[in-house]
Amino acid sequence: MATPPEQDIDGGKQRGIFRRQDEVDEVLEELRELIPDYLRKRDTLRQIVAYVAAKREHMEPDEASAARILGNASQAERI
């Protein structure tokens, strides 16, 4: 089931990036650049990612998997 266009803010680009496990470091670097005060907001980001993974598990398993990959990478990230 595709995301309705009105909810697809970035044209689906982020989902495509998150699915590529070999580019996780690149995604984390981009998040550090895009999110002001990233280090303090990392816990909030992990909560959002966990929520997305839980909500998308049945409708979009690939997207849920990508969210879990991002959450795990964020948790394991060494700064």
Segment 15-66, tens digit of pLDDT? 555 556 567 888 888 999 999 999 999 999 999 999 999 999 999 998 898 8
Indicate the residue type of 25: D
Q: Is residue 19 part of a domain?
A: yes
What was the pLDDT predicted at 66? 86
Rounded CA separation 14/48 (Å): 14
What was the pLDDT predicted at 21? 54
40: domain range? 12-76
**E strands, the chain, in order:** none
Q: Is residue 22 part of a domain?
A: yes
Rounded CA separation 30/35 (Å): 9
Q: Is residue 1 part of a domain?
A: no
Rounded CA separation 40/58 (Å): 31
Q: Is residue 37 part of a domain?
A: yes
Judged on CB neighbours under 10 Å (0-12, 13-18, 19+), 70 is buried
